Structure 1
Amino acid sequence: MWTLRSQEVTVVYGRGSISTLSQFKGRRVKVVTTKSLMETSLLKDMLKLTGGEQVMGPSQHTPEDQLVQLREALRDAEVVVSLGGGSIIDAVKISHEGYHVSVPTTLSGAEHTTVAGFTREGTKRSIIRRAPDMVILDPDALRYTPRDLLVTTGVRALDHAVEALYSVRASPYTDALAREGFSILYECLWNLEDLLQCQIGTWLSSQAFMYAGRGLSHIFGYIFGPRFNIPHGVTSCISLAEAIRFNMTFSREKLRSLGGDSLPSRIESLLERWNVRKRLRDYVSLEEALRLGEDLAVANNSSENPTKMDVLEAVEFIKRVY
């Protein structure tokens, strides 16, 4: 028996859909964004549409101390627009209880979930918050995003689909979302020609993840990303293929629709195509990495990953991705 509680979110998608923001003109609007977008025509257009005020958001991995500052800056806002990737979107989820419009500029998928991540003392924490009230998927919002960032966050979205499919909480609903999301997203990421399709694939994959939960590759990212300043998408580039291999015995039948035994190789071929195949050695020494073996095992075993691991298996996993 499955129990699934759905949510009400307005998703506006298609080229030119940013114009939807004009409906908020006349209200107290604040647009939270990143330093890299501060001087862009994208932000200027959004401020003109809303009559709003720009606010600098937190840095990568959403440090907790920066959330305190953001909460104060948003205190008098009626509508808050998050313009950026997962860190900006999660920061607004945590810091603002009013109406939230998300305009993602990456393919991380944070805009489609109720999970919000932040970093406390070098450790990634996740809490449940309201999803944005409105999500605007406009491919024009991706035009300032570097290609490497699009690809690596897209791999993060592929991670959502794969781990939702073999999750112990998977259901027929999440399986359908995961399979279709993976198919659309993988094809789009191979050529990066139709970015709206990439956004739609991310949408489906992230919904599957929200309802089915997280697995080993996500757990790896939560532990190693903040500790060694590895971007979210890059952690998936490091860990996803090996996480699939680790779970293959349990999940081979379910993964067959995504490529079965060849799925890890398909993922690695995509990474090589865009030169984003990364190793843990690019960020940390093996000695430092192995110290987190017990943390990885404990966190994996409390997640929705189908295969549990002891500390020795966690250490071996770290060595394989190193």
Structure 2
Amino acid sequence: TLGLHALQHRGQEAAGIVSYDGTQFHVERHVGLIGDTFTKQRVIDSLQGNRAIGHTRYATTGGAGLRNIQPFFAELAEGGLAVAHNGNLTNALTVQRALQKQGSIFSSTSDTETLLHLVATSKERDLNSRFIEAVRQVEGAFSLVAMTAKKMIGCRDPLGIRPLVLGDLDGAWILASETCALDIIGARFVRDIKPGEMVVITSKGIESIFPFEPQKTRFCIFEYVYFARPDSSVEGRNVYEVRKRIGAELAQENPVEADIVVPVPDSGTPAAIGFSQAAGIPFELGIIRNHYVGRTFIQPGDSIRHMGVKLKHNANRRMIEGKRVVLVDDSIVRGTTSQK
């Protein structure tokens, strides 16, 4: 569970783990944070085995609730299959309707379940070919992992919208959304999974397959701006350094006279440091963050987000009263934080 702890910032609604012990699969899926459930001894003891996949959920498709928690697991004719996915399949509804007409029954409203059904209904003989046929039928963003009794699969969409990295821990291969998940377990970063690449890991080693036509990459800039942790390296660049450089560029493009530079913590802090250094204006913590409140942008529902901002941030009044303040945030999406 340590790797998922390191990726808690990517999703705080729910989490799940599927493990395999050589004989059977074990599934634990729960609403809430990793620390709320996956530190309990009963849950730890139930996840037997030497391989597993896990997921922290931030809903982009499908509502909250137990039935939409990943990884999804199903017993196919060839054995168990677990799938977890980061991204958003833009044609999921169209594909789901076509599958339902053929008799498929969906148990969730998550787009990830679509992949499970596509693999299950494929006429291809081997799993690799089934998986390739499945991912070729979906569109949008996906960095996904899948697990069977004999292999682990990782795949990244041909546009490379979401990150996926490969690591090594004492000869065992690790797949994760960010390098910070490798750091916490002591794994070595090997490389980024390339856009459009599928890796298949078995007891014999690792195989790389490119099932898509090459396309111009469309990596999501929001990974650098907000989603990724500052200590992660994404596409060969340290996230903290990128955010500092963005702040420095902002100072050069928009020079202002001010007394202090204040970040909206935490994700706005590196950019504020960069702005402060480039502009020569002192950096101060004019807003204090309560670290027991989650990331407001990825909380479900406006009312929860507004309350989250109230609980999370408080002005450091002695520091900002009577001063000209440059307030630096990483981004403005809904404006929830800025308005408060």
Settle same-fold status: TM greater than 0.5. Answer: no
Q: Which has the higher strand share?
A: 2
Q: Which has the higher helix share?
A: 1
Which of the pair has more CA radius of gyration? 2
| TM-score, structure 2 normalization | 0.27
Q: Which structure carries more relative contact order (alpha carbon 8 Å, separation 6+)?
A: 1
